[in-house]
Amino acid sequence: MAIDIKLDIKNIGPHNKLYFSEKINTLKVGIYANNGSGKTFIGRAFRSLININSEYTNKLLEIGKTSGHFNFEVNDGKDIRKLNIKIEKNKDAVINNQTGYIFHVFNSDY
């Protein structure tokens, strides 16, 4: 069974604009990329589901930007599950998690 996965990021860490869409066969996903390419910031966005205060979310924003978003979508052909995080400088993140998933981030940060 193919699962459509989408990731749309704007102004999060080094990602001015990042869009990824791919068909996968499992919900276990690993992201591999060169050092300094922004993997940690993607992990931090998922981590913000736990820590949504403005002090933390300000650290997620790209330098010089006042707002950003992190949108994640999974479509298994039956259901579409979405996670949307809206970030504005000096405000708590607005999180709408309709996935029902528990996210595990493995990184030296954590």
Strands 94-97 and 80-88: antiparallel
| Mean pLDDT, range 5-34, rounded to an integer | 83
- Between the alpha carbon of residue 72 and those of residues 6, 35, 108, the distances in Å are 6, 23, 23
The alpha helices in 1-110, defined as continuous H runs, are 39-47, 54-60
Which of the pair, 88 or 35, is modelled with greater confidence?
Answer: 88
Which of the pair, 90 or 102, is modelled with greater confidence?
Answer: 90
Percent of the chain with pLDDT over 70: 81
Q: Give per-residue pLDDT as tens, 41-94.
A: 777 666 665 556 677 778 778 889 999 998 999 999 999 999 998 989 998 888
**Cα separation, 85 vs 100, whole angstroms:** 15
What's the mean per-residue pLDDT of the chain?
Answer: 81
- pLDDT for 95: 86
Percent of the chain with pLDDT over 90: 25
pTM of the model as a whole: 0.79
